[in-house]
């Protein structure tokens, strides 16, 4: 067996350009993907730090390490950073850019310069958001939802923060446009819609949500600035406005936004499970269809964030019913993933461990979503820690763990080297344990009545809060081990060949790391994405 070596020329060095300018002015989707990866992941770590600080404060009743105003700012910035600077741009921007064009057999995306411009918009928006934290009235303290009337009146630097998010939103829109056009126009010969990897289907559905929903966020943010700066009074009851109208506008985007967050993650799982079970995916068509269905149905349910706001009973009924409908396509995916595993030849390497735990954690998150989606039960748990537990299960246990799976699955392809398996498994085990201790406690606390976004709480909630904080430390340790192992591996680990995992999708058919052009001649596709036999990878 010959020793494997990464290719000596690849996108890392085959353009002849070097230095930082060859990265930040590159129109190569792989370089842009890595730019997104490092910037968004960097912000993830900032968000983790803020989260850990929040948990230290909540470890015991009363003041622990910060005062109430600081606490408000900390959970606001934690949310804004995690949602707008990590999750929403991260999955499509990093792995969508790195992998999708290769998976469809293309050289690059439809509009490479627009792609670079999208990243620059993200970077500028992020800088504006960061600036807002340290200037003017200080970091916003409204929660990431910026509800009026408080967001219109607070002295903190809401306008600048919101402007930064607006710029990032524009980046998201342009990425969506780029990806839809790419998938429609640049598929290689033989790459029919029915042969697309499910990750591509998920990126496609996500791109549609980015195109159709993000503009509403744009106008909503403009309206916040208009309330604050122009005194427009559109949401001010004293002048005829209605604060609930703000909530409608905000959630019309922000509910579909959670599908921007979860759909690519589900796409990763759909790609990883067949490879590590050595079995074609069960129900390909239904999984592809369900991605579109989730995007569509997910755009109809925003009112379920507003059951206690003063909305009409008719609206409560309609939105509650539709929320149950949107659970169905998600469940279809879960059933199909599990069916894929049945009688498969399962190997539990790191990408698979994260993918399997995704199924469990996402399901818990999804089921608790139904408790929230049913209006009657929601009354009890609305704005409690139950909600916080729910969304962390889907966004962290779901998208977060899928992101980690993708990191272990795909980054070795782009670096030519791989992490060590044993520390990765230990890290995963610590993270899985810490995660559940951290967030399951919150769900119990929520049902017992502990509100969210409260600086202090009743003494009866103290024990579980302490338990939750300890969970956060276990999770953090696991995270550190995972990152140390992964990055050590990518830069100094075992070299990998073209197809270390035995995948049948196109990215595994080209050299490791890939050349800038991806393919030396346009591929002609003759088999499906999970047809291991035809791809020659038993």
Partner 1 sequence: MTNENAAHHIVSNKKLVMVWLVLLCLTYLTVWVAHHNVGIGHVWGSLAIACIKSALVVAIFMHMKYEGRLLRWLLFLALATMAIFIGFTFFDVLYR
Partner 2 sequence: MNQAAHKDYAGAKLGMWLFLFTEILLFSGLFLLYSSYLSRYPREFTAAGREMHVGFGTLNTVILITSSLLVAMAVTAIQRNERRNVLLLLGGTILCAATFLFNKYLEWSAEIGNGIYPGSPRLANGPPGESVFYSLYYLTVGLHGLHVLIGGTFLTLVAVRVKRGTVHGGDFVLLENSALYWHLVDLIWIFIFPLYYLIL
Residue 6 or 218 with smaller CB distance to partner 1: 218
DSSP 8-state class, residue 498? S
- Contact map string, positions 506 to 535, toward partner 2, x by CB under 8 A: -----------x-x-xx-------------
Binding-site partner at residue 461 among partner 2, partner 1, none, CB < 5 to 8 Å by type: none
Q: Does residue 240 belong to the site contacting partner 2 (CB under 8 A)?
A: yes
* Number of C-beta neighbours around residue 383 at 10 A: 14
Buried b (16+ CB within 10 A) or exposed e, 428-466: bebbbebbbbbbbbbbbbbbeebbbbbbebeeebeebbe
Minimum distance from residue 18 beta carbon to partner 1 (Å): 33
The terminus-to-terminus CA distance of the chain in angstroms comes to: 18
CB 12 → partner 2: shortest distance, Å? Answer: 19
Binding partner 2 by CB under 8 A: which of 56, 60, 123, 177?
A: 177
State how far the Cα of 469 lies from the Cα of 457, in Å rounded to an integer. Answer: 15
Distance (Å, whole) CA 127 – CA 529: 39
Backbone φ and ψ for 384, nearest 5 degrees, come out as -110, 180
What is the rounded distance in angstroms from the CA atom of residue 205 to the CA atom of residue 210? 9
Q: Which does 313 bind (CB under 5 to 8 A by kind): partner 2, partner 1, none?
A: partner 1
The distance of closest approach from Cβ of residue 206 to partner 2 in the complex, given in angstroms and rounded to an integer, is 14
Helices 385-392 + 421-448 axis angle, to 10: 160
CB of 312 to partner 1, least distance (A): 4
Q: Which of residues 271-330 bind partner 1 (CB under 8 A)?
A: 299-300, 302-303, 310-315, 318-319
| d(C-alpha 261, C-alpha 206), whole Å | 8
The entry of partner 2, partner 1, none near residue 232 (CB within 5 to 8 angstroms by kind) is partner 2
CB nearer partner 2, residue 11 or residue 457: 11
Please identify which residue in 32, 58, 163, 252 interacts with partner 1, judged by CB under 8 A: 252
124 near partner 1 (CB under 8 A)? no
Is 490 a residue that touches partner 1 (CB under 8 A)? no
Under the binding rule (CB under 8 A), the answer on residue 310 touching partner 2 is no
Pairing outcome for strands 417-418 and 494-495: antiparallel
Q: Which of residues 348-387 bind partner 1 (CB under 8 A)?
A: none
Regarding 315 and contact with partner 2 (CB under 8 A), the answer is no
Q: Cis bond leading into 149, ω under 30°?
A: yes
Beta pairing partners, 451:
384
Report residue 383 CA to chain centroid gap: 22
Q: Is 180 in the site for partner 2 (CB under 8 A)?
A: yes
CB contact at 8 A, 379 and 307: yes
- 318 vs 467 by CB, closer to partner 1: 318
Count CA atoms closer than 13 A to 482's CA, side-chain side.
24
Binding-site partner at residue 519 among partner 2, partner 1, none, CB < 5 to 8 Å by type: partner 2
Select from 42, 231, 310, 463 the one that contacts partner 2 (CB under 8 A). 231
3-state secondary structure of 524: strand
From candidates 23, 41, 111, 289, binder to partner 2 by CB under 8 A: 111
Q: Which is nearer to partner 2, 88 or 223 (CB)?
A: 223
Give the Å distances, CA to CA, from 205 to 176, 216, 271, 275, 438.
9, 18, 16, 22, 32
Residue 408 CB burial class (10 angstroms; 0-12, 13-18, ≥19) = buried
> Mask of contacts with partner 2, 456-495, x by CB under 8 A?
----------------------------------------
Burial of 500 (0-12, 13-18, 19+ CB in 10 A): middle
Could you give the CA distance from residue 88 to residue 28 in angstroms, rounded to a whole number? Answer: 21
Residue from 33, 93, 139, 176 touching partner 2 (CB under 8 A): that is 176
Residue with tokens 């990425």: 175
CA separation for the pair 233, 226 (Å, rounded): 8
| Contacts (CB under 8 A) with partner 1, residues 212-241 | 212, 216
Smallest separation (angstroms) from partner 1 to the CB of 311: 5
Pick from 24, 66, 244, 490 the residue near partner 1 by CB under 8 A.
244
Q: Which string of DSSP letters, residue by residue, matches 212-258? A: HHHHHHHHHHHHHHIIIII---TT-GGGT--HHHHHHHHHHHHHHHH
Q: What, of partner 1, partner 2, none, does residue 483 touch, CB below 5 to 8 Å by kind?
A: none
Q: Of 179-218, which residues contact partner 1 (CB under 8 A)? A: 184-185, 212, 216
To the nearest whole angstrom, how small is the minimum distance from the Cβ of residue 156 to partner 1? 29
For residue 415, what is the enclosing H or E element?
Answer: helix 401-415
Give contact residues for partner 2 (rule: CB under 8 A). Answer: 106-107, 110-111, 114, 173, 176-178, 180-181, 184-186, 211-216, 218-220, 222-223, 226, 230-234, 238-242, 245, 248-249, 252, 517, 519, 521-522
Give contact residues for partner 1 (rule: CB under 8 A). Answer: 184-185, 212, 216, 244-245, 248, 252, 299-300, 302-303, 310-315, 318-319
């Amino acid at each position: 067996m010959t020793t494997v070596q990464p290719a000596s020329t690849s996108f890392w060095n085959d353009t002849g350009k070097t230095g930082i300018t060859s990265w930040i002015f590159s129109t190569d989707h792989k370089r842009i993907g890595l730019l997104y990866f490092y910037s968004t992941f960097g912000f993830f770590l900032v968000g983790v730090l803020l989260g850990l600080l929040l948990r230290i404060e909540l470890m015991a009743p009363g003041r622990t390490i910060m005062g109430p105003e600081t606490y408000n700012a900390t959970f606001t910035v934690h949310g804004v950073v995690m949602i707008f600077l990590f999750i929403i741009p991260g999955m499509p921007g990093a792995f969508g850019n790195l992998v999708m064009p290769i998976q469809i057999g293309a050289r690059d995306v439809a509009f490479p310069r627009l792609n670079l411009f999208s990243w620059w918009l993200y970077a500028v928006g992020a800088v504006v958001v960061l600036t807002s934290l340290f200037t003017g009235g200080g970091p916003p303290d409204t929660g990431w939802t910026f509800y009026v009337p408080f967001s219109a009146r607070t002295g903190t630097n809401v306008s600048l923060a919101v402007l930064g998010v607006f710029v990032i939103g524009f980046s998201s829109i342009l990425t969506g446009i780029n990806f839809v056009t790419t998938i429609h126009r640049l598929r290689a010969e033989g790459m029919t819609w029915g042969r697309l990897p499910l990750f591509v289907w998920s990126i496609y559905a996500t791109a549609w949500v980015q195109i159709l929903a993000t503009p509403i966020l744009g106008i909503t943010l403009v309206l916040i600035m208009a309330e604050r700066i122009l005194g427009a009074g559109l949401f001010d009851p004293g002048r005829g406005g209605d604060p609930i109208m703000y909530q409608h506008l905000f959630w019309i985007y922000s509910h579909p936004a959670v599908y921007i967050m979860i759909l690519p993650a589900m796409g990763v799982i759909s790609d990883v499970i067949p490879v590590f079970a050595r079995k074609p995916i069960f129900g390909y068509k239904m999984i592809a269809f369900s991605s579109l269905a989730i995007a569509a149905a997910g755009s109809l349910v925003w009112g379920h964030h507003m059951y206690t706001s003063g909305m009409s009973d008719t609206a409560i009924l309609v939105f509650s019913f539709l929320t149950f409908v949107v659970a169905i396509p998600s469940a279809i995916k879960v059933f199909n993933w599990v069916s894929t595993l049945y009688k498969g030849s399962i190997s539990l390497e790191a990408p698979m461990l994260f993918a399997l735990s995704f199924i469990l954690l996402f399901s818990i998150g999804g089921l608790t979503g139904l408790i929230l989606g049913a209006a009657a039960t929601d009354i009890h748990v609305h704005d409690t820690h139950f909600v916080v537990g729910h969304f962390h299960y889907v966004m962290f246990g779901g998208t977060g763990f899928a992101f980690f799976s993708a990191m272990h699955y795909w980054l070795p392809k782009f670096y030519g080297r791989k992490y060590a398996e044993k520390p990765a498994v230990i890290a995963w085990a610590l993270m899985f344990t810490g995660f559940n201790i951290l967030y399951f406690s919150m769900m119990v606390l929520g049902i017992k009545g502990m509100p969210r976004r409260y600086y202090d709480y009743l003494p009866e909630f103290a024990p579980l809060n302490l338990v939750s904080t300890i969970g956060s430390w276990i999770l953090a340790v696991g995270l550190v081990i995972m990152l140390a192992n992964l990055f050590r591996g990518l830069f100094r680990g075992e070299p990998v060949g073209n197809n270390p995992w035995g995948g049948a999708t196109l990215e595994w058919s080209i050299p490791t790391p890939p050349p800038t052009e991806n393919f030396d001649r346009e591929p002609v596709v003759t088999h499906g994405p999970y047809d291991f036999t035809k791809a020659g990878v038993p």
